[in-house]
Amino acid sequence: VQLQASGGGLVQAGGSLRLSCAASGSIFSINTMGWYRQAPGKQRELVADITSSGSTNYADSVKGRFTISRDNAKNTVYLQMNNLKPEDTAVYYCNAARRLLTTTVYEYWGQGTQVTVSS
């Protein structure tokens, strides 16, 4: 599975960005796609994910500001980020996984895309 992420950049606080991640390859068994982020000196953390049935999960810090969606026909997941804050600055990574209940059977990572929010 290959993941191609795009859409990062520099934006002022209060602005918006949309990240995209297109999956290709042997994706028939992938049931969850999402976005993680890692800020300097911090651990990678989940931002949001979405299952193949459309169930979503968000980090508390982004609820109400970020929206994850997916286009199954295009094998693409999107992250619409509104009202961005300086603390959202991080490298954002696309993730595709096969999960069974709480277990990750296997997962893939895309290349990171930098999001920088200036104050």
* C-alpha pair distances (Å), 101 with each of 22, 36, 46, 105, 113: 24, 19, 17, 10, 29
Q: What is the pLDDT of residues 3-61, one digit of tens each?
A: 999 999 999 999 999 999 999 998 888 999 999 999 999 999 999 999 999 999 999 99
CB atoms within 10 A of CB 37: 22
Q: How far apart are CA 22 and CA 14, in angstroms?
A: 26
- Judge whether residue 101 has pLDDT over 90: no
**DSSP 8-state class, residue 65:** T
Return all residues near 26 (Cβ < 8 A) that are at least 6 apart: 1
- Parallel, antiparallel or unpaired: strands 113-118 and 9-12: parallel
Residue 34 is predicted with a pLDDT of 96
Please tell me which residue, 28 or 82, carries the higher pLDDT value: 82
pLDDT confidence of 76, banded at 50, 70, 90?
A: very high
Residue 102 is predicted with a pLDDT of 84
Q: Are 48 and 35 in contact (CB under 8 A)?
A: yes
Residue 15 is predicted with a pLDDT of 98
Secondary structure of residue 61 in the 3-state scheme = helix
**Mean pLDDT of the residues in the chain:** 95
Please tell me which residue, 92 or 73, carries the higher pLDDT value: 92
Secondary structure of residue 28 in the 3-state scheme = coil
